[in-house]
Structure 1
């Protein structure tokens, strides 16, 4: 059965491709075992707490547990049925058949075989099944106000793959499964560590206009071992995916969330196997979960999410070495090769022999895209040396500080787009598409003085007054850092404000102004807030960092609504569009579990619904239950306008009534 979506519950799809994390010890080392991972997680209350399941009114009681487990007495064996295994299921789609038609282990427990989902073939490359779910205990993230549980289903591949066998078709398969199941709130991909950085880099490009959290993780020691890193890695990935909207393809390992296209596997031995030397982590998990919101990517275009389903296989990596010959390079760059990642010395240097340069120039002239990166784990290519400039003159494109895995994936992705010319591909190589490379550093910005901060606060207060008072009675506002206590001697006088304290005051005022401007459909007020923030300014970055998701996504204390929620509720289409173009997250849910799309549809704001859907918004959270009730009222009253708006909001697509 398909459970209703509670407002304090996130839905996560776990795509289990294989890897060490779910292996058992066999006669020839670690081997994968069907269903082992799922059933092990089901047996651990940290990963599956039946008493949190809201399906049963007696949840939290002995009777509730027995109802959940299918027993009526303490000693009775659970009665598991294939129609509804473990009580709750979620609809999951895939481009391949779902389930293990044959078990690798013939002695697999009969109850596990009974739990196999009934897979239905919808079309040639579309299958679906209702998978049993697991649900974590409710937890409150540091700084959060709502305890939330995470309900997740595990889509297990058949066969499970060692990551050394993962190839381009598997990357496309993962991207396709995310697209087919995009109604889930977030996605966790379990994968072997050897090629994990390649997959995370490739998916960062294949998942175009991503608006939800995608996290890849694995383990150095499998879950089957007493001492392992699998528990922490999986729990950390689930927790972040279930509690935060970080619309990127990320990699989580050893208490750290990295941008997926910035990492490289640095160790086959340490538990801290991955590093991102040229870019800071997005999240650090310790006693607190610290999100570096300043560096999180946000979609700023009005485009729906889609999975790109092509990668050009004719790309390769060539590592320069002392004594390499032009003949070697020419042979390497022969057809069908269309792109080469050239790992150069140091900051982008190469041997200056004529045969080497002629071979590289000849390849570039034939239309082969050659991208230069550094062999060093940390750093970037540049033209600081003459030996680097000659590569550029030969037609080689600088790849900045991209990792080898990322450069290869990006080149394969761009060359798969037939609409791009070779020149356009070369131009895009040096442009950050998914935060995969660092922009050239500019001139250092001097930190503003306290007086400049005072001016900012004065302008902020003036905006408040403008929005709340008639123009004819606007007062003059003056803000100063002086204490005004002239009787206090200089020796005992209190300290003046610091720039950080002033920035803190601004951070408190900005959310109120953004919400007020969104409610009033005041574009000037919104533009003032967004234009006042300079991300190159240390104090402004501090201000942004105090607001999770940035000012554009700041939440009201009680309702949990973002400015986008407020603008959508009031039917302010102009503000909705501006907010979306400034990075508003369309999938945020308020404290009642509602999206901005639901609020706009409920109020009958058709133009706003169209804008949100164009930007990839979908109904989610508690929207389903309330929308069903509203649609029933609409049917009774024969309100064609309301029915049309709900149809545009995607109600039929969500409920499975539309033709796809």
Structure 2
């Protein structure tokens, strides 16, 4: 059964690797139980409401609840209806999927409404394809966005399930590979993982997932879902809600109502529900009464390259934590072959012992090609060159690692050393640069922030009149200043009032500019959007999120289209290129559920199709399954229009299918 309205449904793949979240108590302590998690979620209507008739789907208003509670639908529904209301989702994996006789059955495995074991087919070496039964959340109002949406998700469960302490580098690569295999089939990804090494995995994935354009969230639990009192429900439901409703093109970690950048976190507590902290970078999302996305801190993809998963990491790396009195002999034991990289956890702001034998050991290793990265043992702070005891490390060849966490520094070093084209010198250079927002650049290397007076209201209103005028000639000059005050009553305004005015005008202006292919107007809007105009649309501290993703991704209230949609529909190639360079999200869908790539192909804009595809765009599973793409291709084939067929092929459609 296909979705009724694809635009109202997000598709998320949950990759379940193991961890506390799905464990049960045994005589040996907590152990993972195969299929327990999937069966449990299917039985809970907050996670699975295929007929949209649960309390959660009908409690948006008093009237709706009263109508539902007296309709008779509040009584339990039969298992056959639950099964019939479900739909399976195509999922690809690097290993066979499905229940096997070698695994002990879950305590829920005898429930009538469980679907049969899916058929798994090998379609290539190391690639398997199956259709997994999906779960669907109740339809709910999206905080800050206003529309209702349900999230349909499938759970790709590993066999065997792993305690996170058993995670290794090849497991990180496996997760990255499975995200790549399913990248065009799902809108977002959630990885369920144990907490002990989750920060290592989230850091590693942030580097392995190159040119990521979709949301990837890791989460887990301190208390398993099998326990009455747990944090598993909040963590999983929160991760699903963010993944299904917001495009945050990063690898992130969600825990205890907070979404962090994945390569900025460390596990801080083994017993608190607030288990993770990010001391040197603010959260990306704070979940309270409202879901507040800090869009100014979200990475924007401007590389114009397609997503791919890098599938190699060097195992010849290690962490070396300094201690008072460490000798050169101890250091040499760590630095001996086959070691290629060391994360040196130094004292304070990057200081170390000045023992000659110790410093000589470091210099000899650096001269032999070993890459040594210095980070601080302090949870908060950065490595600097303010002290002589830190500068001697740099003189020995040690590279400052800024404010990277130990987990991030280790996985970044492993990732870079696995690239055969990079020399040790190039690796040292890249270590100190933020590749995925993993470290804070030195203040001297940051571009100067535009002053709040760089783009004033006078220029904004002048652009408004120019762009909205039917004729480009005779544009009146608007002046707000002393001259205007002489002729009329003075207009005094606060910074918040000015920001509110800008927030109201800029989304309209940017859509108008791209519709007219007005590069000058578009550049003005983008410059204004990075100045005093914040991504939240109002000056700092004012609250409500108005423009998620920044002005470059602002949505038209009626159509749900982004500036990229508008530029594509009008065939304005220059604006498409400028928007992509400025961080436009190629995977955004409008109110009809369509991406910019779909419109480019439908309108026959071959050049724009090529640009979008090279920037990572793809035709999603919903567009294919709803039949829009197939119908367009069939019509072109019947009409003998080879040019149109070729455009759809270039957009990624299998025209022979």
TM-score, normalised on structure 1? 0.90
Return the alpha-carbon distance in structure 1 between the equivalents of residues 315 and 537 of structure 2: 41
Are 1:105 and 2:101 matched, yes or no? no
Unpaired runs of 5+ residues, structure 1, are 54-59, 72-77, 489-493
1:639/1:444 CA distance change after superposition, 3 Å: closer
Return the alpha-carbon distance in structure 2 between the equivalents of residues 104 and 117 of structure 1: 16
Number of positions where the alignment pairs a residue of Structure 1 with one of Structure 2: 631
Equivalent position SS for 1:193: coil
1:249/1:158 CA distance change after superposition, 3 Å: same
Return the alpha-carbon distance in structure 2 between the equivalents of residues 394 and 262 of structure 1: 28
1:95/1:649 CA distance change after superposition, 3 Å: same
For 1:164, the equivalent position in structure 2 comes to 165
Q: Cα RMSD over matched residues? A: 2.8
- TM-fit CA distance, 1:4: 7.1
Equivalent position SS for 1:31: strand
1:650/1:386 CA distance change after superposition, 3 Å: same
- TM-fit CA distance, 1:630: 2.3
Q: Deviations over 1:316-368 (max 9, x none)?
A: 00000011100010111000000000000000000001001000001100000
Counterpart pick for 1:319 among 318, 321, 325: 321
Q: Deviations over 1:427-453 (max 9, x none)?
A: 00000000000011259979957xx37
- TM-fit CA distance, 1:306: 0.2
Q: Deviations over 1:481-525 (max 9, x none)?
A: 99969999xxxxx99311222122112211111111111111111
Return the alpha-carbon distance in structure 2 between the equivalents of residues 314 and 86 of structure 1: 51
Return the alpha-carbon distance in structure 1 between the equivalents of residues 508 and 621 of structure 2: 26
Equivalent position SS for 1:179: helix
Contact 2:189 2:217 (8 Å CA) reproduced:
yes
Deviates more, 1:303-312 or 1:598-607: 598-607
For 1:218, the equivalent position in structure 2 comes to 220
Return the alpha-carbon distance in structure 2 between the equivalents of residues 342 and 43 of structure 1: 49
Deviates more, 1:634-643 or 1:235-244: 634-643
Counterpart pick for 1:332 among 334, 352, 355: 334
Contact 1:447 1:537 (8 Å CA) reproduced:
no
Alignment of 1:336-351 (within 5 A): 336-351=338-353
For 2:44, the equivalent position in structure 1 comes to 44
For 2:595, the equivalent position in structure 1 comes to 595
- TM-fit CA distance, 1:104: 3.4
Contact 1:445 1:537 (8 Å CA) reproduced:
no
Alignment of 1:301-450 (within 5 A): 301-442=303-444
1:322/1:495 CA distance change after superposition, 3 Å: farther
For 1:193, the equivalent position in structure 2 comes to 195
Contact 1:618 1:649 (8 Å CA) reproduced:
yes
Contact 2:164 2:198 (8 Å CA) reproduced:
yes
1:65/1:9 CA distance change after superposition, 3 Å: farther
Return the alpha-carbon distance in structure 2 between the equivalents of residues 481 and 230 of structure 1: 60
For 2:276, the equivalent position in structure 1 comes to 274
Contact 1:100 1:158 (8 Å CA) reproduced:
no
For 1:154, the equivalent position in structure 2 comes to 155
Counterpart pick for 2:651 among 630, 649, 652: 649
Return the alpha-carbon distance in structure 2 between the equivalents of residues 329 and 96 of structure 1: 41
Return the alpha-carbon distance in structure 1 between the equivalents of residues 429 and 21 of structure 2: 40
For 2:476, the equivalent position in structure 1 comes to 475
Contact 1:86 1:132 (8 Å CA) reproduced:
no
Contact 1:302 1:615 (8 Å CA) reproduced:
yes
Contact 2:464 2:505 (8 Å CA) reproduced:
no
Return the alpha-carbon distance in structure 1 between the equivalents of residues 622 and 29 of structure 2: 46
Contact 2:331 2:361 (8 Å CA) reproduced:
yes
- TM-fit CA distance, 1:460: 1.7
Return the alpha-carbon distance in structure 1 between the equivalents of residues 5 and 261 of structure 2: 29
- TM-fit CA distance, 1:168: 0.5
Return the alpha-carbon distance in structure 2 between the equivalents of residues 192 and 24 of structure 1: 14
Contact 2:576 2:608 (8 Å CA) reproduced:
yes
Unpaired runs of 5+ residues, structure 2, are 54-67
Contact 2:529 2:550 (8 Å CA) reproduced:
no
Return the alpha-carbon distance in structure 1 between the equivalents of residues 649 and 438 of structure 2: 38
Contact 2:343 2:410 (8 Å CA) reproduced:
yes
1:214/1:458 CA distance change after superposition, 3 Å: same
Return the alpha-carbon distance in structure 1 between the equivalents of residues 483 and 275 of structure 2: 53
Deviates more, 1:284-293 or 1:630-639: 630-639
Return the alpha-carbon distance in structure 2 between the equivalents of residues 647 and 487 of structure 1: 61
Runs of 4+ in 1 over 4 A off after TM superposition: 1-5, 60-68, 110-114, 442-449, 481-488, 533-546
Equivalent position SS for 2:560: coil
Equivalent position SS for 2:456: helix
- TM-fit CA distance, 1:600: 1.2
TM-score, normalised on structure 2? 0.90
Contact 1:310 1:416 (8 Å CA) reproduced:
yes
Return the alpha-carbon distance in structure 1 between the equivalents of residues 572 and 255 of structure 2: 42
Contact 1:320 1:345 (8 Å CA) reproduced:
yes
For 1:144, the equivalent position in structure 2 comes to 145
Deviates more, 1:538-547 or 1:562-571: 538-547
For 1:116, the equivalent position in structure 2 comes to 117
- TM-fit CA distance, 1:67: 9.1
Contact 1:481 1:496 (8 Å CA) reproduced:
no
For 1:126, the equivalent position in structure 2 comes to 127
Deviates more, 1:539-548 or 1:519-528: 539-548
